[in-house]
């Protein structure tokens, strides 16, 4: 599968956001290689770099399912292939 995927999570801070997202990733054999999270004014913001090398699930399914996990816990979850993310954020 892809080399790396950027996962961003944004929303009102609640208990269990990281646990739910990481449980989904672990259950699908997706390694978290880097993670950064902050809480500002009660709002949660997390960016993860994940490596889906051991999963058999297609990117589109991962993207849709992580979005569904986000809906269940009240946050917005976005997934982008790292090469697209890097092109979009070049200065």
For the chain, how many structural domains are there in total? Answer: 1
User: CATH no. for residue 43?
Assistant: 3.30.70.260
- Which pLDDT does position 55 carry in this prediction? 92
- Which pLDDT does position 84 carry in this prediction? 66
At 65-87, the pLDDT tens digits run: 999 999 999 999 999 987 665 66
d(CA 90, CA 37) in angstroms, rounded, equals 22
pTM for this predicted structure: 0.86
86 Ramachandran zone, left/alpha/beta (phi>0; psi -120 to 50):
alpha
The whole domain housing 28 covers 5-88
Q: Is the pLDDT of residue 91 over 60?
A: no
At 5-40, the pLDDT tens digits run: 999 999 999 999 999 999 999 999 999 999 999 999
């Amino acid at each position: 599968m892809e080399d790396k995927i950027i996962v961003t999570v944004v929303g009102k801070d609640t208990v269990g956001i990281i646990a739910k997202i990481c449980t989904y990733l672990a259950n699908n054999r997706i390694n978290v290689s880097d993670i950064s999270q902050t809480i500002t004014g009660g709002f949660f913001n997390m960016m993860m770099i994940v490596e889906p090398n051991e999963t058999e699930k297609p990117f589109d399914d991962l993207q849709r399912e992580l979005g569904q996990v986000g809906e269940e816990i009240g946050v917005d979850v976005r997934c982008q292939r790292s090469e697209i993310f890097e092109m979009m954020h070049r200065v």
